[in-house]
Structure 1
Amino acid sequence: MNLSHEQSDQLIATLAEFRFELRQFLQFSETAALDAKLHPQQHQLLLQVAGAPEGTQVTIAYAAGRLGLKHNSTVELVDRSEREDLIERTIDKDDKRRAILRVSRKGRQVLHKLSDDHARELNEMAPRLMRALKRVQLHSRSPLAAEVL
């Protein structure tokens, strides 16, 4: 089944608004990271390493998967973050080819400040984000809209 032009236009407008709200948050996040003297990907790396589920050995492969980066790009990001004392890397006792990552004391300090800032911003943005997400959800419940989404 095809959407009518009106339904398609409504869906496009709904997705555009949701994407705009997401982008507003991402722009805030990027600016906050840069203000903290971090590259935005370093902030994402710190989040993924520090926020890994308990018992997870955070390796380069794990970080690459969580960040959506290739292995070699993640190695470069970890190298840069280690040089800046944000990340610590140790060799896995059981597999000498693997490095285990953890956030350094300096990295934790920066991450705590950024996380506080992000929580405040999300609290302010939450009503708009939830409203936009709810509209997408309502459109996706329509059998016609579900085919597009």
Structure 2
Amino acid sequence: MSSGEPQEPVPLTKREFESLARFRFGIRRYLRFSEETVRSHGLTPQQYQLMLALKGFPGREWAAMRELAERLQLRHHSVVELVDRAQKQGLVRRAADPSDARTVRVELTSDGELTLVRLSAMHRDELQRLGPTIELPIFDDPSDE
């Protein structure tokens, strides 16, 4: 076999399949919990993710549209629409960036912050409840064989 050909992947062991399946199950349970919880509070899952991305943005309390597009893994125009809807609900606001007139800052409002604090505490509690089902899967070291 030449070095340019892809190598066959090393098959997973039964234990690795179980670990991977448990992790996937935990993620799915968490995501279902998240979707149901935010909807019961009048938000879409994307709005919650937007607010979380803003509050959790490294080093500051705001983000530009292009940064949000990257964080949310969405196209720029989709983020603009998402911000428009969240702004109409009073969750976020736009502000001019004093150091760069081309940049629009998106930041949480006090209502958005309060909503995020409540929802995020519920998410934290659910993650603690899920415990080991959400831990990263453990894979055997193929060099041990």
* Same fold at TM > 0.5: yes
TM normalised by structure 2 equals 0.83
TM normalised by structure 1 equals 0.81
**Identical pairs, percent:** 33
More helix as a share of residues: 1
Mark the CA change 1:45 to 1:22 in structure 2 (over 3 Å): closer, same or farther.
same
Structure 1 spans left out of the alignment, 5+ residues: 145-149
CA offset at residue 141 of structure 1? 3.0
Alignment-mate amino acid for residue 141 of structure 2: R
Among 65, 70, 87, which residue is 1:82 paired with? Answer: 87
1:102, 1:55 → 2: CA distance? 10
2:96, 2:141 → 1: CA distance? 49
Structure 2 spans left out of the alignment, 5+ residues: 1-7
Mark the CA change 1:72 to 1:3 in structure 2 (over 3 Å): closer, same or farther.
same
2:55–2:61 Cα contact (<8 Å) kept: no
Tell me what 2:37 maps to.
32
Q: What SS does the aligned partner of 2:106 have?
A: strand
Number of residue-to-residue matches in the alignment: 137
Tell me what 1:68 maps to.
73
Q: What SS does the aligned partner of 2:130 have?
A: helix
Tell me what 1:14 maps to.
19
CA offset at residue 57 of structure 1? 5.0
> Which stretch of the first structure deviates more once superposed, 89-98 or 78-87?
89-98
2:9, 2:110 → 1: CA distance? 55
Tell me what 2:3 maps to.
none
Structural RMSD (CA): 2.1
Tell me what 1:93 maps to.
98
CA offset at residue 56 of structure 1? 6.7
